[in-house]
Amino acid sequence: MVLASAADAATRRFESETDRIDATEIPFVTIDPAGSTDLDQAYHAERTPTGYRVHYAIADVAAFVSLDSPVAAEALARGVTLYAPDRRAPLYPPAIGEDAASLLPGRARPALMWTIAVATDGELGEARVERALITSREQLSYDEAQARIDAATAAEPLMLLREIGLARLAQEVVRGAVSLALPEQQLDRVDGGYKLRFRATQPVEQWNAQISLLTGIAAAGIMVRGQVGLLRTLPEPTDDTVATLRRAARALRIDWPASMTYAERIRSLDPTDPRQGALMHQAARLFRGAGYVAFDGKVPPQATHSAIASVYAHVTAPLRRIGDRYANEVVVALCAGRPVPGDVRTALPALPGALGRGQQRQGALDRAAIDFAETLEMRDRVGETLEAVVVNLDERRAVIEIPDPAIVSEIDPRGVALGERVRVRLVAIDRNGRLLRFEHVDRGEPPVTV
């Protein structure tokens, strides 16, 4: 029933809708991981006398999926798209999520088009969103976009992405925001097999992410003023947690003057340095309380996202995250001066739970896939000694990172220090439990002095 409903919905025509403006003359481009087909966002920017005008087109799921349809019910149950190295379980059937609603190049697509004024220094100005018809000109991978910007061969809108991204990063400092640039353990498909690696983000990914953050901050502000919506929140770290982090910095011999804030210290850390990377891992624990809050009629007391240092909402990935579709509908109505549709209001309270469950499933899937890949990678290496760095430490365990191959595991915490380089030996593999067992052999080179 769901697939049949999706196939029927995907044939819907939207070009003649009277509430949809024609924005097909704007030369949008998409910037995503290579090979992506579920394209949620398309970007364009232009220079203005006071800074920049950003156009950000977001896939319009509502153009194809009504809230009372079997497709919408199934999407609510799924919560998010689940990604594995060799396949995915999409939020919406491929006929919609990878075709009809996806902002593929050269095809007219319904979209929710944001128009956002950004000052030269990156400050957010006036923002609005409206339904539009758009046509993306080109689908770029991160590598392609980065290469064009580096070579200065990109068209002006793509060159402006760097300017706007850097300006918005500077605004993070002004707001007191915190971002962690830790390399991510990743399982990639390579030449018919799989490869574990620690992957650092490219600059263009950070600049592109700033456009999504900009849009999410603008959307949240509109919802807060309208007193209805769905926010992404993170409580402020308590004095006790910051004090614990300061003690970890002292143990790692990392300078943290009393006058330097938590945000300033974390933002200035170098993830390639073993000790500073270890402190970043400690700080990452403070990000684990992120969640969603729905509200209607009264803004909740805890409405901000402390790491972003602003109110914030997820609105830029509706093909992959269920809440974005509903949050977008709220903001479109508020920008048009219309009441938020009743079925959208009714659905809001269920969304935090649906999103939380979906993200928990994705986390479990990520860990299972990487655990399996780690045991496969190391299957013939029992007894081998490897270099590692202690990135987390408590009385129960020491978490280690091995750079090559990219392994995260644990050893006995006795006799090791946070941020220390150590030598470890693989002593056993539990293939059923997908676990590696290492033991501490001796210390490697002394930790780097910071």
Tell me the three-class secondary structure of 335-376, residue by residue.
HHCCCCCHHHHHHHHHHHHHHHHHHHHHHHHHHHHHHHHHHH
Distance (Å, rounded) from C-alpha 126 to C-alpha 405?
Answer: 48
Are the C-beta atoms of 358 and 79 separated by less than 8 Å? yes
Distance (Å, rounded) from C-alpha 135 to C-alpha 326?
Answer: 23
Are the C-beta atoms of 293 and 351 separated by less than 8 Å? no
Least confident piece of the model among 84-88, 100-104, 115-119: 84-88
Least confident piece of the model among 5-14, 29-38, 185-194, 401-410: 5-14
Identify the pLDDT of residue 10.
Answer: 66
Query: What does the pLDDT look like over 375-431, one tens digit per residue?
Result: 988 989 999 999 999 988 888 999 999 988 889 999 999 989 888 889 999 999 987
Domains along the chain with CATH numbers: 2-177+193-235+289-373 (no CATH), 374-443 (2.40.50.140)
β-strands 398-402, 108-119 pairing: unpaired
Task: Label residue 9 by pLDDT band (50, 70, 90).
Answer: low
Per DSSP, which regions of 247-290 are E strands?
A: none
Of all residues in the chain, what percent carry a pLDDT higher than 70?
Answer: 94
Closest of 415, 419, 412 to residue 398, by C-alpha: 412
Are the C-beta atoms of 72 and 63 separated by less than 8 Å? no
Per-residue pLDDT, averaged over 259-284, amounts to 87
Of all residues in the chain, what percent carry a pLDDT higher than 90?
Answer: 68
Q: Which residues of 108-132 are buried (b: 16+ CB within 10 A; e: fewer)?
A: ebbbbbbbbbbeeebebeebbbbbb
Task: Label residue 30 by pLDDT band (50, 70, 90).
Answer: very high
For residue 276, is pLDDT > 90? no
Least confident piece of the model among 1-10, 69-78, 119-128, 150-159: 1-10
For residue 444, is pLDDT > 50? no
Identify the pLDDT of residue 221.
Answer: 98
Query: What does the pLDDT look like over 191-231, one tens digit per residue?
Result: 777 778 888 889 999 999 999 999 999 999 999 999 999 99
**pTM of this prediction?**
0.90
